[in-house]
């Protein structure tokens, strides 16, 4: 527990010869949910380095959460007496980027970066926040890089406004095909009444995933009813040549995946499949993440689309491209995925 961990650092710094000439470091795992508390106890007892991870990712229950320990020190600087050099305004964008890269969503109730971290439902909370934000918020959303106004653009917005918003969201437009992203934004505006910042980021990310691919989704047709087996017809472009296959399964996504497997001539194990709505509403842009394993190699894929089946197909195609890249530049197979 934190008291024991803090005492250990104090004891070592007192007894070890030359202790004042080195930087003491805390490396905590979160098996009991105490990684952040223990790390802070170490800092109060002389540690000047904390080994941590964005979103607290790591084996078992994870490691010390970078965003939590940084903001704890920032919020209680009166107690800690030290600060980090982390640019806290980049915490939220970094958290979301990591989530997309590894295909693992951030829990809504995650401290600091969860969707509910700055949400208030109880009437007394809402009244207090409206009168004075710090009544229930000990930090400002802007401090960690959460946009203060997520409702930004619509179908009448121009290319200049779209490009400017990308810059405000921290997107390097040199790495983005802005014309393509803007065209997809306009197409999304025709489907959705409201387009949020998270929708725009998802569009840009999805567009970037499809830049250099071995497999490319060309067309997808699905059909299902309560009296027939769901059916899918998929067309992929493989190294410039189009291939079409059909599949049936237990649901449209299953049928779609079986058709894609036929074209790719592969039948990997689907380790994980997750769907989340990026924003609210039945017209929300959906984001799908999947993880597939073949011959001891595990890769993750992500896809975003207003149609969940299409997002699922894009996620699998993204994973297959990553798997193909791994085969061309093989890494050590994953022996244990947690």
By C-alpha distance, which of 72, 99, 70 is closest to 87?
Answer: 70
- How many whole angstroms separate alpha carbon 77 and alpha carbon 81? 6
pLDDT at residue 25, as a whole number = 97
**Domain contains 184:** yes
Whether residues 222 and 203 fall in one domain: no
Q: How are strands ordered across the β-sheet holding 286-294?
A: 269-277, 286-294, 297-305
Is 70 exceeded by the pLDDT of residue 53? yes
Q: How many independent structural domains does the chain possess? A: 3
Picking from 31, 56, 87, the residue at the C-terminal end of a domain is 87
State whether 184 and 82 are in the same domain.
no
Give dist(CA 34, CA 110) in Å, integer: 15
65-81 pLDDT tens trace: 999 999 999 999 888 88
- Share above pLDDT 70 across residues of the chain, in percent, rounded to a whole number: 83
> Are both 201 and 249 inside the same structural domain?
no
Do 249 and 287 fall into the same domain? yes
| CATH number of residue 300's parent domain | 3.30.160.270
By the 8 A CB rule, do 98 and 152 touch? no
The number of beta carbons lying within 10 Å of the beta carbon of residue 305 is 23
CB-based contact 26:42 (threshold 8 Å): yes
- Among 153, 189, 186, which Cα is nearest to 168's? 153
Are both 235 and 166 inside the same structural domain? no
Rounded to an integer, the average pLDDT of 163-180 is 78
Residue 303, CB-side half-sphere exposure with 13 Å CA sphere: 25
Say how far residue 186 (Cα) sits from the centre of its chain.
24
Say if residue 262 is in the same domain as residue 192. Answer: no
Within this chain, do residues 219 and 251 fall inside the same structural domain, yes or no?
yes
pLDDT band at 239 (very low <50, low <70, confident <90, very high): confident
Residue 126 lies in a domain: no
Q: Is residue 46 part of a domain?
A: yes
Q: Residue 111 domain-assigned?
A: no
Mapped onto helix, strand or coil, the DSSP state of residue 327 is helix
Domain that holds residue 291: 215-328
Residue 108 lies in a domain: no
Identify whether the C-beta of residue 24 lies closer than 8 Å to the C-beta of residue 47.
Answer: yes
Tell if the pTM clears 0.85, that is, is over it.
Answer: no
- Tell me the per-residue pLDDT of 108-123, one tens digit each, with 9 for 90 and over: 889 998 877 776 444 4
Domain boundary among 87, 105, 123: 87
Which of these ranges, 53-62, 80-89, 125-134, 275-284, has the smallest mean pLDDT?
125-134
235 and 324 belong to one structural domain? yes
**Same domain assignment for residues 220 and 319:** yes
* Residue 117 forms part of a structural domain: no
Q: Flag whether 255 is in a domain.
A: yes
Tell me the average pLDDT across 40-45: 96
In a shared domain, residues 20 and 63: yes
| Same domain membership, residue 180 and residue 247 | no
Helix axes 2-15, 35-44, angle to 10 degrees: 30
Angle in degrees, 0-180, between the axes of helices 35-44 and 66-75, rounded to the nearest 10: 50
Does residue 131 fall inside a structural domain?
A: no
Domain boundary among 36, 69, 87: 87
Q: Are 58 and 8 contained in the same domain?
A: yes
């Amino acid at each position: 527990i934190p008291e024991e961990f803090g005492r250990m650092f104090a004891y070592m710094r007192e007894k070890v010869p030359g202790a004042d000439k080195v930087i003491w470091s805390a490396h905590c795992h979160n098996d009991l949910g105490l990684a952040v508390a223990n790390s802070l106890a170490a800092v109060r007892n002389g540690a000047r380095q904390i080994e941590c991870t964005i979103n607290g990712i790591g084996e078992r229950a994870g490691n010390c959460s970078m965003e939590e320990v940084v903001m704890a020190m920032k919020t209680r600087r009166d107690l800690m007496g030290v600060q980090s050099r982390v640019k806290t305004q980049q915490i939220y964008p970094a958290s979301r980027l990591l989530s997309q890269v590894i295909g693992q969503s951030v829990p809504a109730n995650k401290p600091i970066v969860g969707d509910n971290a700055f949400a208030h439902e109880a009437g007394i909370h809402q009244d207090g926040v409206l009168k004075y934000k710090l009544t229930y918020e000990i930090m400002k959303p802007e401090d960690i890089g959460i946009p203060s106004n997520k409702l930004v653009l619509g179908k009448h917005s121009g290319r200049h406004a779209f490009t400017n918003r990308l810059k405000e969201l921290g997107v390097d437009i040199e790495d983005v095909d802005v014309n393509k992203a803007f065209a997809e934004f306009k197409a999304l505006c025709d489907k959705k009444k409201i387009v949020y910042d998270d929708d725009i980021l998802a569009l840009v990310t999805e567009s970037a995933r499809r830049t250099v691919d071995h497999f490319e989704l060309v067309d997808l047709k699905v059909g299902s009813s309560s009296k027939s087996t769901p059916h899918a017809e998929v067309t992929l472009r493989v190294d410039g040549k189009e291939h079409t296959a059909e599949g049936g399964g237990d649901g449209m996504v299953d049928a779609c995946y079986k058709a894609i497997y036929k074209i790719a001539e592969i039948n990997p194990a689907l380790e994980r499949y997750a769907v989340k709505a990026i924003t609210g509403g039945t017209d929300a842009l959906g984001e799908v993440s999947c993880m597939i394993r073949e011959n001891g190699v595990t890769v993750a894929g992500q896809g975003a689309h207003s149609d969940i089946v299409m997002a699922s197909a894009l996620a699998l195609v993204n994973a297959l491209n990553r798997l193909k890249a791994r085969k061309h530049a093989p890494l050590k197979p994953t022996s244990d995925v947690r």
